[in-house]
Structure 1
């Protein structure tokens, strides 16, 4: 494996960690209603867990309300059960052909819990990014020691520096995403 490949793989792994974090942050509840809050709730549909967004149209008719219109009206009961089990603390109201979710205002204590949760998600993303850096450095060292295909020591050092720059870049993006979400959660 040459050094450019190692660098590319490290960047892909870091990018995946950032994308995963952004997806997780969309599901964190803030003071406003957002379809991202329930998009990925798993609903038991004909024996297999399916994302809610694949079973219904989710809209935001008011800033503190979500409206879920299932494609198959018979799945309403299962959707209600899934929302209740999701741990979001929401009480769905089944209106037959649609389900209404009212989002109550967040208490100060709940906001602090959400902020802590968001920061924890950010730390997990950083750990994943640092693991990608560690793996890349290990591969770079192996490439440097490979006698059959020698790599100059300066190239090994330069590639390690590039990996470190990537790590700093992605950690900065994680910090920005976490900071934005914290600000959103604390907004009243």
Structure 2
């Protein structure tokens, strides 16, 4: 097979892999009932004037399935951590005991589960669009390659099969996340 075509196929595969990795990261931030440190992974804290990720200024852990405990390395950061959690708009109400910030994660209502399920579907759809855009880019590149028409059409078939397999993989990831969200 033509080296250029193989390069285009490899590039498309890498881009589609990235779409899957991105989807998994986004879905990890959607909570499914039990507490997890990843729920606060997007929280930024004002650390001496510069926005800093929460996990770089504190230890975040879950002592049980319904509590997130945030132990700052400097006690003066407690109000900043609370402000960062409010600013991240996660729907949590942080409390502090002077030593650490504690977040009680309430059990999900049926309505909230449906909302989170819709959010997960939207993330999956966004990933599918990304995969399809990667396919379109690869198809356009194939058309520009100096190769026989048979090679080009075979490469286009390969790209379409790759796209279909990635869309199926996205659907499987979404299915397992929806099941996790809807399980009480």
Q: Which runs of 5+ in 1 are unaligned?
A: 144-149
Between 1:53-62 and 1:41-50, the stretch displaced more is 41-50
Of residues 166, 178, 184, the one that matches 1:182 is 178
Which consecutive segments of 4 or more residues in structure 1 shift more than 3 A? Answer: none
1:86 aligns with 88
CA distance in 1: counterparts of 2:164 and 2:125, whole angstroms = 14
Alpha-carbon displacement from aligned partner over 1:71-93 (angstroms, at most 9, x marks no partner): 22222211111111212110111
Aligned positions, number = 182
**What per-residue deviation string (whole Å, max 9, x for no partner) do you get for residues 6-48 of structure 1?**
1111111111111111001111111111111111222222222
Counterpart in 1 of 2:47?
45
Match of 1:166 in 2: 162
TM norm structure 2: 0.94
TM-score normalised to structure 1 length:
0.92
Asked whether the 8 Å contact 1:40–1:53 carries over to 2, the reply is no
- Which stretches in structure 2 are left out of the alignment for 5+ residues? none
Which residue is equivalent to 2:58?
56
RMSD in angstroms over aligned alpha carbons?
A: 1.3
- Equivalent in 19, 22, 33 of residue 20 of structure 1: 22
Asked if 1:151 corresponds to 2:173, the answer is: no
